[in-house]
Each structure stands twice: as structure tokens, then as C-alpha cells.
Amino acid sequence: MSIGKKSILFFHLNILVFFAAPAFGELIGQVSHERVYHLGVGVSGEVRTFPAERGMQVEKNTVLLALQDAHLQAALKAAQSASELADALFAEANRAYERDVELYDEGSLSLSELEASQNNHKQRMHVQDLRARELAEQEHFIQLSRILAPEAGVVIDWSVHQGERVNPDVPPTVQILFGAGDKVLEVALGETSNQLPEAGATVSLIDMTGTARPAMVQRIEVIAIRGVVRIYVDNPEQLPEFGTYVAIAR
């Protein structure tokens, strides 16, 4: 088993292209979500489960993808048993040391015997700490073998299939594309600002089939670091699927 980085979690960067030259007063936007995540596992393994369908709505912490983890579960069980034993032995050593301190104070125990009891107490404490760290490590491996929904949202797409072997250090390092928040339209920042509709304006959204839907612009947000202008509309649920290009006509 090779251990990689923690599950990758970062915002998706879209590259906008035009499917047609916009007419006067018309922009081309691409449908996105307020937050788009690229998610990947942190250990290598064989894919056991993945989302049932694209567009599936899920709640936060829903398991989106899981690797075969029988070996990880076995290692976790062994670590749990070792940790429980270490806890029991430390508790026993702790009771013995407390008793020996009392006996020493009463003069019934020699200094060398007390020191031996103290050393045993320290050793058991060290082993207990070591086993606890080993258990935490195995629990972490289990977490890295799964991809959980970072928040309530929708499964946009995935890059792997059941039975496929993945490695966090070998492409594709991202297995799940996940969207959250309202759908939005993103326009390349290079478009002239006077073409952008103002908040409160009514526009016509025309998809690639020519179907037009009216919408009211709620607000405009410039995301300079990504080079896009984000347009929020009053009926985001009516926008087509993620990645679709839409003409925005005034």
C-alpha cells in the first residue's frame, strides 16, 4: 500500500470557449456551480464503489467513492486490539505504581523496588501512546481510501470505474468532480464590461439547441484570480447541466 497526500480538495478552474460569435449585446457563458471540487483518494487501491449516476444529489459526508479496504480493515482491527491491550496493561501498571508509592511511604518497599515499579509504569505509558498513534494512523488510512461529499451538492462526473486501480500519485489523481451551491453562469473576463447585464436586468438564456428561457440577473461577481465574471440568476435550477454553454441575450 502506498500512502499519498490527503484527499485533494480544490476549486475547479473552467476555461471558457465560444461555440459561436456573439451578436451585439449577447454574451456566451458556461454553466458552473458556486463551488466546484476536484476530489481524489489518498491511498492506492481498487475501486469498490462509486456514484450511481451523474447529477445525483447527496448530503454532506455521503461516501462518493470507496476503495477495496479489507486489508485496511484487518489492520485497523489489529491496531484496535493492540491499543485496548496497551490500555489495560497501563491501567494495571498505574494501579501497581500507586500502591507501591504508598508501600514505600510506609517503609514496606525499598527504593529499588519503587524505581522498578516506576520504570514499568513509564514503559507501559510509552507503549500505550505508541499503540494509540498506530491506531490513529490506521483510522487515517481508512479515511484516505474514501471520498466523502464535502457538503450537500451534486455529483458532476467521475473518472474511474468499479474494479479499476487508482494511485494518488499517478493521473488521474482526481476521481470525482463535485458541485455545490446554486448553478451560475461564468463569462470570460476579457468580454467588454458594457456588454454585461446589470443586476435586476431581464435576459434571455439560449442553450445550444436554441431553446430560450427568460431570467433575471440577481448579481454580478468578478473573480479576477480565475479570469471570469460570474452571473447569478433568479432561476438557477432551470440552467442546463454543468459545462454547458449558454448565450446571454438582452
- Give the phi and the psi of residue 113 in degrees, each rounded to 5: -70, -40
Question: Of the residues 144, 162, 191, which one is the last residue of a structural domain?
Answer: 144
**Burial class of residue 198 in the structure, from the number of CB atoms within 10 Å of its CB (0-12 exposed, 13-18 middle, 19+ buried):** exposed
Asked if residue 19 lies in contact with residue 28, where contact means CB atoms within 8 angstroms, the answer is yes
**For position 208, what pLDDT does the model report?**
86
Q: Say yes or no: 131 and 231 in one domain.
A: no
Q: Say yes or no: 40 and 135 in one domain.
A: no
Question: Of the residues 92, 121, 144, which one is the last residue of a structural domain?
Answer: 144
Separation CA 230–CA 191 (nearest Å): 12
Separation CA 75–CA 82 (nearest Å): 11
Residue 76 corresponds to which cell in the numbers above? 485497523
Low-confidence ranges of the chain (pLDDT < 70): 1-25, 191-194
Q: Which pTM does this prediction carry?
A: 0.77
Q: Say yes or no: 135 and 194 in one domain.
A: no
- The number of distinct structural domains making up the chain is 2
CA-nearest of 35, 11, 9 to 143 is 9
C-alpha separations of 79 from 5, 53, 128, 143, 241 in Å: 22, 36, 12, 15, 45
- CATH classification at residue 238: 2.40.50.100
Residue range(s) defining the domain that contains residue 134? 71-144
Q: What letter does residue 128 receive in the DSSP assignment?
A: H
Q: Is residue 4 part of a domain?
A: no
**For position 194, what pLDDT does the model report?**
59
- Angle between helix 111-144 and helix 70-106 axes, rounded to 10 deg: 160
Per-residue pLDDT tens digits for 100-158? 999 999 999 999 999 999 999 999 999 999 999 999 999 999 999 999 999 999 999 99
CA-nearest of 175, 178, 155 to 164 is 175
143: left (phi over 0), alpha (psi -120 to 50) or beta: alpha
217: left (phi over 0), alpha (psi -120 to 50) or beta: beta
**For position 27, what pLDDT does the model report?**
87
What does R_g of the chain's alpha carbons equal in angstroms?
29
**For position 136, what pLDDT does the model report?**
98
Residue 110 corresponds to which cell in the numbers above? 525499598
Q: Say yes or no: 134 and 176 in one domain.
A: no
Pairing mode, if any, of strands 165-166 and 176-188? unpaired
**For position 8, what pLDDT does the model report?**
36
Residue 171 corresponds to which cell in the numbers above? 493521473
